[in-house]
Each structure stands twice: as C-alpha cells, then as structure tokens.
Amino acid sequence: MDVNPVVIIAGPTASGKTALALDIAAEFNGTVINADSMQVYRELRVLTARPGDDEEARAPHKLFGVLPASEICSVGRWLTLAEAEIETAWKEGRLPLIVGGTGMYIRALVEGLAAIPEIPDAINDEVRALYDELGGEAFREELAKLDGDAAERLPAGDSQRLTRAMAVVRATGKSLAHWQEEGKGPSLKARFLTIALVPGREDLYAACEARFEAMLENGAIDEVKALMALGLDASLPAMKALGVPELGRQVNGEISLDEAADTAKQATRNFAKRQLTWLRNQVNADHVIEDFYRPAHRDQVATAIRVFLEAG
C-alpha cells in the first residue's frame, strides 16, 4: 500500500455493497468509509439501511451516523471528512474502502470539486423563494430555460440541487455542468479501483421492496416519529430521505400505512433507477458485477484488488 490505494464500491441501494465491503475489509485490512448522503445522519439508521452493530464490529466504519439531521452534508463537507478518514486509514496501514451510491460524493473524490465561484446570499435567497412560490415542476421549467441539462437530470422534488443549479447559472451565467468540467482536480494523491454492482432492474426493484418491508418490521415508523418530534425544517435533506415524507404522512393520519408503503416503494424504485443510470453512464468501473454481490463473487473481487495493490 505504498502508493496510496483507495477502493470504491459503488452500487444502487440493496445491491449488496455492505456485504462486499465487509468481505474486502476482512481480507485486506480495510476501513469502510461511507459515501451515502443519507447514511451520514445519525437519526436515520433503519430507513437508510446503515450497517448494524454486528457488521460494524467486523471492521472499522467511518462517516456513518456522524451528523445530526438538523445539518446539511454538502459535497464539500463530505469530501473534507472523507479525505481525513482516508489519510487516517493509510497511516494505520489499512485499505480505505469508499462505499455508497451518492454519485456526487464519489465524483468529487475522484475528480475534485468544481471550481464554482461563491454565490451571493441574495441570489440564493431569491432562488429558494422562487422554488417555494412556483413548486418543483414549474421551477424546473424555469431552470430549463437557463440550464437544460440540470432541469432534465434532476427530479422536481430535489429542491436542494434544483435551486443550487439555478443559483449558479444566475450568478455566473454558466451552467453547473460547465463549472464541474472546470474542476480543480482531486486533492488526494491516490490510485482508485472502482468496483460497481449493477443488478438487473426488475430484480433490483424487488430487492428494494423487500428491504422496505424489512425496515417497517424493524422500527421505521418509530424512527420517523422520533425524527418528526425534533421539529426540523422540512427542506433539510434528512427530512427528504426515502420513506420519511411518506411515513410522516401516515404518522399524521393523512394516508394509510399501505398507501405510505406503496408510495415509498415507488420512490425507492425511481431512486434505484437513477443510481443505475449514473453507474452505467458516468462511472468507468474497473470491475463490474452485473448482479447482486454474493459469496460466489468474492474470489474474483479479491483477485482484482490484489492485482490493483500489486501494481502500486
């Protein structure tokens, strides 16, 4: 490990990333570092399918449940935290394993952050007010006039990234994609090996639905009740985590549990589809498993990592 290796395990939700990370950590003395934008929040253990106590006991786990739901974990904030954990793993003689499906996090680590100028507070406030006034669909139509790529790529409910894209183009006259292409490059001197899990879509959807049912059995509703009791702003990322808005409506008596579950499952399927699209179109993976991770894949993954480490 003398040339700063980092292994990235990318994949959609419910694809087996946790099992793969544990197997790699056991064989290569690894530290598992979270790259999931919702698993950073400590109040969302069940609904984000964070590793359990038994799993965390098998290898060091970092950046899981480290922030309160009242805070925002931006890409820049995550990158700072992740780089510090990677450096620590290297110093301890451990292999850093970046595990997650948040594309913006992984891209920032590998390519560096976009060199976007600071956006004036007045523009940020104006854009957020416009989103609140128009609603997601109409706001996205306005954004399409200035940044068609972002408008097409982002869902209407993603207020944080939609307003970010609008603020950037209004303040700079250039799209978010333009600034991302002008990125400053990665700050870590590292070699990256990326392993991607890309299951078939229909099988993945079934796994997502089964996982949500398991979440309900393991206390998801109580978790949402506790989160709602904090009285947080509904626009915070944690309040938009898969299952939170839907179960929140059920807790408030607005819809039945069956309706909440069906809506949440649909949202999860949509999210998994976007993750698969990103993996297939945006990630140059060194090793691809076109299925869920299973013990049968262990040897081929271990061989790929061993070759990667020896090449350094």
> Which structural domains are found in the chain, ordered by start?
5-113+184-311 (3.40.50.300), 121-181 (1.10.20.140)
> How far is the C-alpha of 72 from the C-alpha of 91, rounded, in Å?
29
Residue 186 has pLDDT above 70, yes or no: yes
Q: Which of 154-163, 175-184, 192-201, 293-302 has the lowest mean pLDDT?
A: 175-184
Residue 194 has pLDDT above 70, yes or no: yes
pTM (whole model) above 0.85: no
Who contacts 26 (Cβ-Cβ below 8 Å, separation ≥6)? 58, 59
pLDDT digits (tens, 9 = 90+) for 81-101: 999 999 999 999 999 999 999
| In the chain, % of residues over pLDDT 90 | 78
CB 10 within 8 A of CB 197: yes
pLDDT value of position 1: 43
CB 205 within 8 A of CB 211: no
Q: Of the candidates 251, 250, 249, 224, which has an alpha carbon nearest to the alpha carbon of residue 238?
A: 224
pLDDT value of position 2: 54
